[in-house]
Chains A and B, each alone.
Chain A
């Protein structure tokens, strides 16, 4: 490793890579769309390379839309309709965010409670922990749509089934991370607490909980990504009305490529937004602690 780099050398790579990616994307769009674009072109029109390229970057239903098309479609779907219209993507993203957020909250509380039980009760550690791990081998994402349908038969629709699926997905990284975190204090520190004749609750509040903070935020970042994915998949069963997942499905069903891509990009933006919130919370905690976790 060299000594301190100049600011330019640190920042330059990211736009460069992005620029290269954009060029590759436009080239790939020509490569994938050109066959259909040629077929749609006016036979008398000039058919040089640039004409074909331009045609394949401006198709209505491209195989791979050009980046500027996606940006335009996203802009239209957010600002082109009033916020009350179901065609407004921001409204749909709001539905997804609501399910993801509520589910994440429940998953977080349940995950932390489970971790507290596992570190304090030996029977629980031995008998429950293996099943916590095994529970994740059930591909819940794969059966989420079916669960939503089954709960719909019962009359439970809307937010609840989506949030439940998100909670099931998100408790796992939290539990695993927090069990590790609560066990980080070394014997020396634990012995010191004993010397002060601290009870279990005090040891937990003053030693284990602060020590686990360093593990909470990485787990939360994983959980946020899972929450958005889970909410979207839960919105995918046939008959789904609202949310980004429903838009994705409708786009796939009617061959509306642009609808699919804009929903996908919106979902990614939602996940990034969640990550930013977690990072801000992390910085806040670090600031409160005087500069370290």
Chain B
């Protein structure tokens, strides 16, 4: 399908309309609402046009526009409906809060993310992986531990947070312990499923080459398990953040994202709370994206990636 740059023009027009009507919305006068209506229609039209394209820019533009639309609607509605600041501050106020509290946000990020999350994630994922290999080696362990592992994955492990704080004290170690417990079982279950992913043909080929257990593991089964291992790594990247922040509700030194959220919420400084949430969401997204990038490099052969590339 051949088109000109009309959708780009519409997209830019939509953005312009958004900036226009933002200054007008303060009450329920008709004009701003009509303007806003036009802006939304333009946005949706642009999104639909971009969705038809297949170039890289087209693929990026559609979700970006949707995100902008959401942010803009949020800003407008907070002003138009006069939603109290305590319930939901507008995005502009949150951006301002991030700018004003950069130092505090950095200290919290270090305490929660760089200490608790990173340490817990590394230990938890590593232990889950090694445990899966150990279970794989022994059929007896396999039959005994598999139901247990599945059961524990379903349990609300986060409830263990107050107990861990009791055991390991208020420092980041107790949060790391919660993260370890939360991440170890998804990794264990996924690695076990991944190690069973190879086909009978490949296994027979390895036998023909007289490959032993370890050679088969290293050259066939681990590479075949990679998609599922990365699945667990991605899942754990968000779980780790949640575990660390929730554990901080049960006692922390006076820094950390969970501490900041609970104390500032009690003081009604909702803009700081949302700024912390924004940092957490950004940290989560960046971690996720980073792992997804490594996954693309490692499992380039997997059909699910081939479709995404369009080749």
| Residue A228 at the chain B interface, CB threshold 8 Å | yes
Question: In the complex, are the beta carbons of B153 and A225 less than 8 A apart?
Answer: yes
| Residue B167 at the chain A interface, CB threshold 8 Å | yes
Cβ of A17: which chain B residues have Cβ within 8 Å of it? 141, 144-145, 148
Cβ of B163: which chain A residues have Cβ within 8 Å of it? 257, 260-261, 264
Selected contact of B288 from candidates A137, A146, A274, CB within 8 Å: A137
| Residue A123 at the chain B interface, CB threshold 8 Å | yes
**A153 CA to B242 CA in the complex, in Å?**
24
Closest Cβ of chain B to A179, distance in Å, is 13
Closest Cβ of chain A to B258, distance in Å, is 6
| Residue B104 at the chain A interface, CB threshold 8 Å | no
Question: In the complex, are the beta carbons of A146 and B284 less than 8 A apart?
Answer: no
Closest Cβ of chain B to A45, distance in Å, is 27
Q: Given the interface contacts A126-B51, A131-B66, A146-B262, does A138 sit within 8 Å of B143 by beta carbon?
A: no
Q: Given the interface contacts A127-B66, A137-B285, A252-B250, does A229 sit within 8 Å of B158 by beta carbon?
A: yes
What is the total of A-B residue contacts with beta carbons within 8 Å?
152
| Residue A221 at the chain B interface, CB threshold 8 Å | yes
Question: In the complex, are the beta carbons of B154 and A271 less than 8 A apart?
Answer: yes
Q: Is the interface of A mostly helix, strand, loop or mixed?
A: helix
| Residue A128 at the chain B interface, CB threshold 8 Å | yes
Question: In the complex, are the beta carbons of B159 and A267 less than 8 A apart?
Answer: yes
Question: In the complex, are the beta carbons of B87 and A63 less than 8 A apart?
Answer: no
Closest Cβ of chain A to B68, distance in Å, is 11
Residues of A1-25 at the interface with B, using a CB-CB cut-off of 8 Å, are 10, 13-14, 16-18
Selected contact of B144 from candidates A13, A125, A154, CB within 8 Å: A13
Residues of B40-91 at the interface with A, using a CB-CB cut-off of 8 Å, are 44, 47-48, 50-52, 59, 62-63, 65-67, 70, 86-87
Selected contact of A142 from candidates B52, B153, B257, CB within 8 Å: B257
Q: Which residue of A lies closest to B58 (CB)?
A: A126
| Residue A46 at the chain B interface, CB threshold 8 Å | no
Cβ of B63: which chain A residues have Cβ within 8 Å of it? 126-131
Question: In the complex, are the beta carbons of B156 and A141 less than 8 A apart?
Answer: no
Question: In the complex, are the beta carbons of A63 and B167 less than 8 A apart?
Answer: yes
Q: Is the interface of B mostly helix, strand, loop or mixed?
A: helix
Question: In the complex, are the beta carbons of B166 and A63 less than 8 A apart?
Answer: yes
Cβ of B184: which chain A residues have Cβ within 8 Å of it? none
Closest Cβ of chain B to A65, distance in Å, is 10
Determine, out of B30-38, B119-127, B207-215, B273-281, the stretch whose residues face the partner at the interface. B273-281
Closest Cβ of chain B to A208, distance in Å, is 18
Cβ of B238: which chain A residues have Cβ within 8 Å of it? 136-137, 139
User: Beyond A126-B50, A134-B285, A139-B242: 8 further Cβ-contacts under 8 Å?
Assistant: A14-B148, A131-B63, A138-B280, A138-B281, A139-B238, A142-B261, A264-B163, A267-B159
Residues on A facing B (Cβ under 8 Å): 10, 13-14, 16-18, 32, 63, 122-123, 125-131, 134, 136-139, 141-143, 145-146, 149-151, 153-154, 221, 224-225, 228-229, 232-233, 236, 244-245, 248-249, 251-252, 257, 260-261, 263-264, 267-268, 271-272, 274-275
